[in-house]
Amino acid sequence: MENIPVRTMPVLKKKRRKLTKNRVILLLLALPLIVLIFLFNYLPLFGWIYAFYDYQPGIPLSMSKFVGFKFFIIAFTEERGELIRVLKNTLAISFLTILTSPAGVLFAVLLNEIKKKSFSKFIQTTTTLPNFISWILTFSIFYVFFSVNDGAINQLLLKLHLIQNPINFLGDSAIAWYFQIGIGLWKGLGWGAIIYLAAIAGIDSEMYDAANVDGAGRFRMIWYVTIPGIMPTYIVLLLLNVSNLLSNGFEQFYVFMNPLVSDKLEILDYYVYRIGFQNNDFAYATALGVLKTVISIIILFTVNRIAKRVRGENII
């Protein structure tokens, strides 16, 4: 019987053309997002040039005096004391945020263990909704509950005789860091747990079946199957949080800022805003923004290198 040659080359070429076509379609779908990222994240980097000029509003940059690294030197000499205070607030809040990051893992695990799915979905929905509330409305909600005179929490504590005088939750600098961390947890806990729930859903069900056959109970399954299954996701997110040590956000501290807690809540992002828009010192504010970006990039690549050595995988 004669061997009939199999025509594989046209099939492979057709398959390659199909794959190429699919990739082009996916690229076109992602193109608008790529353009937006370029416009809002990379195009503004041309504004870094203002950090090297003695720029004054209303005067064209071409007529401004070139001062080189003058404002970078000022940040580490003349304004060093104030900058150290701001960095202390920034790093303290960042480290407290990292310390509370396991709360998202714990919440996701507990949510996954609820057997009644309708109740689980209700809890997940109600805890995710605060993420979509603007910070202005968030401040209004917490003002209603925690204000000194008419706050519901103070009124309740007074009626229960747990306190003698109202507590100024929004104006007590001693608890300002912890209060803001609590607000952040309330607002982002449910939303942050979604990614861990997705990681739990990706765990092979056969591992649970094998643990059940071996006689593992509910808590042992959580400890030996669920937790190890989501740890890679947690570690990646933890390393990304470490690389963002200098970025606490702006809106939260802007709306909750008041003279009583300004010494504790003035983080780097708010400090740059105050220098630039309230003091009209755009050149110095730009220099601070450049320093923050450069330091954050250094931290990111350092963390990425550590992850490569410890886990054998890059995070970027």
| Dist. CA 269–CA 250, nearest whole Å | 6
pLDDT number for residue 309: 78
The residues, ordered by sequence, that sit 6+ positions from 315 with a Cβ below 8 Å of its Cβ are: 236, 239, 240, 303, 304, 307
pLDDT number for residue 184: 93
CB atoms within 10 A of CB 268: 24
DSSP string, 162-230: S-SS---TTT-GGGHHHHHHHHHHHHHHHHHHHHHHHHHHTS-HHHHHHHHHTT--HHHHIIIIIHHHH
Query: What's the pLDDT band for 1 if we cut at 50, 70, 90?
Result: very low
Residue with tokens 């303290």: 92
CB atoms within 10 A of CB 169: 19
Give the residue extent of every domain in the chain.
76-311
11 pLDDT more than 60: no
Instruction: Note the pTM of the prediction, 2 decimals.
Output: 0.82
**CATH for 76-311?**
1.10.3720.10
Residue of higher predicted confidence among 2 and 195: 195
CA angle 275, 280, 284 (to 5 degrees): 50
What phi, psi does 66 have (nearest 5°)? -75, 125
Mean of pLDDT values over 230-239: 88
The residues, ordered by sequence, that sit 6+ positions from 291 with a Cβ below 8 Å of its Cβ are: 72, 75
pLDDT (tens digit, 9 = 90+) per residue, 164-201? 888 899 999 999 999 999 999 999 999 999 999 999 98
3-state secondary structure of 66: strand
pLDDT (tens digit, 9 = 90+) per residue, 81-133? 888 999 999 999 999 999 999 999 999 999 988 888 889 889 989 999 999 99
